[in-house]
Structure 1
Amino acid sequence: MLFALICTDKPDHLQVRLDTRPGHVAYLEGLNAKGTLKFAGPFLDEAGKPTGSLVVVEAADSAAAELIAEADPYARAGLFASVEIKAWNWVFNAPQGA
């Protein structure tokens, strides 16, 4: 089952994001190697600065998706004001086997 992790950064936490980015990228690369990560990227403001993240993962259930979200170095560093986890169905332009 697919889950969208919709993460909103705390205001004025850009430096936390920048400092934690290498660990976050390594974490996502590990999820990708396992086939868990489907896609991910930052939300941007009008100036092109990141304000949050969208991460779509495959997990057995919402509890497993929550564990994935909690283990993200961004979450551990306290970057996010909120994380919403929603079951998601990839209907259009899904790659084979998604």
Structure 2
Amino acid sequence: MYFLMRCLHHAEQDAARDTHRPAHRSWVQSGGDGTATVLIGSALLDENGASIGNFGILEAADLAQARAFAEGDPFNRAGIVASIELTPLPETFQAHRIADPMTLRR
């Protein structure tokens, strides 16, 4: 199953994001130690270009696995994330059009 993951961050978290970004990127690359596959993701910005969160398109067995991935992210564990939103994508989602997934498939 595919999910849109949207994580909004608490305000003024730039320094904390900088500190935890290497661990966050490792988490994404590992798929949360195999919990999910991250096809694509990026920072979310406000209208002034300030970072307010992150998003990703995940492939996971079910909603529980997608949530485990999101909740296990170092950004979340460090208290940076204010809210996590997971939205199932339709079966017609064309994941094959994303040529270079962020997580290596096993």
TM-score (norm 1): 0.84
Structure 1 outlier segments of 4+, above 4 Å? none
For structure 2, the 5+ residue unaligned runs are 102-106
CA distance in 2 between partners of 1:15 and 1:49 (Å): 13
One-letter identity of the residue aligned with 1:71: G
Are the equivalent residues in 1 in contact too, given 2:43–2:51 (CA < 8 A)?
yes
Aligned equivalent of 1:59: 60
Structure 1 gaps of 5+ residues are: none
**1:22-47: CA deviations, max 9, x gaps?**
10011111129x67111110011234
Matches within 5 A, 1:1-98: 1-31=1-31, 36-89=37-90, 90-91=93-94, 94-95=97-98
Q: For 1:11, what is the secondary structure of its paired residue?
A: coil
Q: CA RMSD in A?
A: 2.5
TM-score by length of 2: 0.78
How many Å separate the matches in 2 of 1:43 and 1:95?
Answer: 19
Q: CA deviation at 1:93?
A: 7.9
